Each structure stands twice: as structure tokens, then as C-alpha cells.
């Protein structure tokens, strides 16, 4: 069975960031969408991948996202 969700520690390891950063992002309304299941925060793989795709850039100047005209 393929893994369909990551908890905040697993996602933190995937991105090499602190799970506390993910907590701060949730509080600020940033980062990928998440779900709360019985008080437990999980991230769906499809939302993680979509967020990663949104972060692609062609340059460091301005808001030059990949594929933007």
C-alpha cells in the first residue's frame, strides 16, 4: 500500500526543515494544505506535491514562477 499522508515530522524530514516551521506556517496560513484527524495533523501527498510544484521558479528576482508569462 502506498503512503498517502505524512505527519509534520515526516514532512519536515522530506524538506529538511523543522516540524516547528510547519507549525508556524499553519498558524500563518502558509505552506501546503493539511488535515486534522482526531487532533492529529497530516498532509496529503497530493497537496504536498502541488505545493512543491507551486514553489518552482526560473529566477530569484521578483515573483518569477515557472511557467508564468
Q: How many domains does the chain have?
A: 1
| CATH number (domain holding residue 10) | 1.10.10
| Residue 17, in any domain of the structure | yes
| Residue 62, in any domain of the structure | no
Task: From first to last of the 69 residues of the chain, give the pLDDT tens digit.
Answer: 566 999 999 999 999 999 999 999 999 999 999 999 899 999 999 999 999 999 998 888 766 666 555
Q: How far is residue 33's CA from residue 14's CA, in Å, rounded to a whole number? A: 16
Q: How far is residue 11's CA from residue 20's CA, in Å, rounded to a whole number? A: 11
Q: What does the block give as the cell for 33? A: 494544505
Q: How far is residue 45's CA from residue 64's CA, in Å, rounded to a whole number? A: 25
Q: How far is residue 44's CA from residue 32's CA, in Å, rounded to a whole number? A: 9
Question: What's the predicted TM-score (pTM) here?
Answer: 0.78
User: Angle between the 8-15 and 19-28 helix axes, to the nearest 10 degrees?
Assistant: 110
Amino acid at each position: 500500500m502506498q503512503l498517502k499522508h505524512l505527519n509534520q515530522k515526516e514532512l519536515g524530514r522530506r524538506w529538511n526543515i523543522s516540524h516547528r516551521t510547519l507549525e508556524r506556517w499553519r498558524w500563518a496560513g502558509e505552506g501546503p494544505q493539511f488535515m486534522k484527524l482526531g487532533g492529529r495533523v497530516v498532509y496529503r501527498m497530493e497537496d504536498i506535491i502541488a505545493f512543491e510544484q507551486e514553489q518552482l521558479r526560473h529566477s530569484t528576482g521578483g515573483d518569477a514562477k515557472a511557467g508564468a508569462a
